[in-house]
Amino acid sequence: MKRIALLVLLLAGCAQTPILQPGPVIATPVAVHCQHAPLMRPDFPLQTLAPAASATQLLQACLATDKLRQAYELGCEAIVKACE
């Protein structure tokens, strides 16, 4: 009789065991280093132009330097956008 009563008490204790609920989810931002290929600054034609260059060569070097600078800036902007 005592065994039955003990068994009933033990089973009653199992029925009252609380079920653990998951805690709140806390989103914490973690800084991650952005991986990208190194962007090398190009050699601009205006920097390598000879001092005795003609006006036509100077103009051509200026136009080529402007195009290279624009391409370099677009590459820099793309890396910044990719790492945001």
Alpha-carbon span 3 to 17, nearest angstrom: 21
pLDDT at 55: 94
Alpha-carbon span 48 to 59, nearest angstrom: 13
pLDDT at 45: 92
For 7-64, what is each residue's pLDDT tens digit?
A: 776 666 655 667 778 888 888 887 778 888 888 889 999 998 999 999 999 999 999 9
Alpha-carbon span 66 to 68, nearest angstrom: 6
Residue ranges per structural domain of the chain: 55-84
